[in-house]
Chains A and B, each alone.
Chain A
Amino acid sequence: MSKRLNALYGWLLILPAVSLLAAFTHLPAVMTLLASVHSTPRGTRPPHFVGLDNYRDMMADPIFWQSLWNNLIYALATIPVSVALALTMALLVNRSFPGRSLARLAFFTPTVLPMIAVANIWLFFYTPDYGLLDRLVGFLGMAHHNWLGERGTALWALIAVAIWKESGFFMIFYLAALQQIPATLREAAALEGAGPWTCFRRVTLPLLMPTTLFVLINALINAFRMVDHVVVMTRGGPDNATSLLLFHIFEVGFRFWDSAYAATLTVVLVTILSLVAALKFHFLDSRTHYR
């Protein structure tokens, strides 16, 4: 087949997918940027250019700062804990003991559940007085608590849900990586007189680095992408204590129908995720030995 015919086939084959992809990813990304420097169309008034006004409004919007801050705390708490737990789980179920497959199942099952189902389950778990958590706390002689209704605990309650849902997902990547480490490496280390802890720190952990990076990046993306539980469990409350960035966008865009301001907020979110992407290309793609 001639080169030109080949190229034509190439274009024709990718055309349907690429045009749809452009229509729902690239085009809206550009349109979002444009919308962020225009006003929201109201009634018969078309949008007009307003420069950086929306960004100035954003800087003065306390809920934006609160959501950004919440999201930061949410990410900084969820990521290390779920990654550490994932590694612990993987190490625990990587050895044989009675009930191993059951334990693995217990860790992984939350991953398969819809976040909305998880949110319902935990909503009940957190119910004041009636829920299991309050009953456990009461059993230990501590005061009852409105876990999702108080500023001090609401965000942490959501963080716990995210950790519960994600750890098992990350565990499978660690498990796969652990199983690829040749036993001879550890045997060699043991022959050299390394104890189990040294062996873990000096042999296993470094070999798991690519997996850790991969999992960290994924956790970071999820921390900014997943807000289903916020919608169901707290609606951003109390007093915006659990509003995350994407949730704030959702509220501004579809409760207040302020599309220009929602676009402005989206630009911030996409910028954050692009930074994560840049990190990913920098660290991950140059160092993993998966491919």
Chain B
Amino acid sequence: MSGLGRSSPIGPAMAGLAAWLLAALWLLPMAFALWTAFHPSAFAAHFDPTAPLTLENFSRAWEAAPFARYFLNTSLLVAGVMAGQMILCTLAAYGFARFPFPGAGLVFALVLMQLMIMPDLLLVENYRTIKALGLIDSIAGIGLPYVASAFGIFLLRQTFKGIPRELDDAARIEGCGPLGVLWRVYIPLARPTYVAYGLVSVSYHWNNFLWPLIITNSVSTRPLTVGLSVFAATDQGIDWSVISAATLMTAAPLLIAFLAFQRQFVNSFLRAGIR
């Protein structure tokens, strides 16, 4: 670390100070939201250190909109998408990694196109497809376009390719079929990749907004993000205390998970990014 420290072009004390200032600046908007959410409306923009703390804004937000339902919808969406992705991407990655077939290279290149042209860019046509399937305003309709993920296939294929063939052969001699080998050898050995991919997938779909906004139009299907935007836009006028509380509430599960598993999160994003 000391060797790394010296490479920075700024003196150590100045660098420490600069880091503090920048971090404080970065925390400012969040601190403001926290302050507003945990104090009575009267203190929303009035920074009095003696202001009483309260959880009332949270209970008001919780009662003012069906957040419990939104939480359920988001959980179902996130779990469903992830389960689908895990299964489909595992099978496809296994196919690409271990069962060479004529044209595999071309098909894989086509798969990778999705990294650039994501389903949420082709809004109109995908809306048409979902409508034709009768899935408008359903949680399945939000998730379906994302279930086959080029990114997941790519990540798992890389991992599977790194697993020594000898293990594969050994399992086959033991009498495993192709799916048995996948289940006994490849999946257990790819665990870190699954964790990384899972975290990225959950964060993406917990936070996704535009596509669910288009697809849903009722309380029973709206995920949290869309529910929050509806709540903040119409129901509340400008009671910032309640809106701040609702905002924090929707981000809380992911935020808490992040604070608890910081290292895993950062590593997952890293693994996921370096592709």
List the interface of chain A (C-beta within 8 A of B): 6-14, 16-29, 31-32, 35, 88-89, 91-100, 102-103, 105-117, 120-125, 127, 130-132, 135, 164, 168-169, 172-173, 176, 178-179, 181, 183, 186-187, 190, 196-197, 199-201, 203-204, 214, 218, 221, 225, 227-228, 231-232, 246, 249-250, 253-254, 259, 262-263, 266, 269-270, 273-274, 276-277, 280, 290
Contacts and interface: CB of A to CB of B under 8 A. Distances in A.
Given A117-B250, A124-B244, A23 B129 contact: yes
A204 B114 CA distance: 33
A194 B101 CA distance: 54
Contact of A114 (B22, B92, B251): B251
A29 B45 CA distance: 48
Contacts of A20: 88, 144, 147-148
A275 to B, nearest CB: 10
A58 to B, nearest CB: 15
User: Which of B111, B117, B224 is most buried by chain A, counting CB atoms within 10 A of its CB?
Assistant: B117
B26 A263 contact: no
B6 interface: yes
Interface residues of B, number: 99
Chain B binding surface, main DSSP class: helix
Interface of B: 1, 3-10, 12, 15-16, 18-20, 22-24, 26-30, 32-33, 36, 44-45, 88-89, 91-92, 94-96, 99-102, 104, 107, 110-111, 113-129, 144-145, 147-148, 150, 153, 178, 203, 206-207, 209-210, 213-214, 224-225, 228-229, 232-233, 238, 240, 243-244, 247-248, 250-251, 254-255, 258-259, 262, 265-266, 269-270, 273-274
A113 B251 CA distance: 6
Given A92-B18, A116-B225, A17 B207 contact: no
Chain A binding surface, main DSSP class: helix
Contacts of A89: 22
A77 B263 CA distance: 31
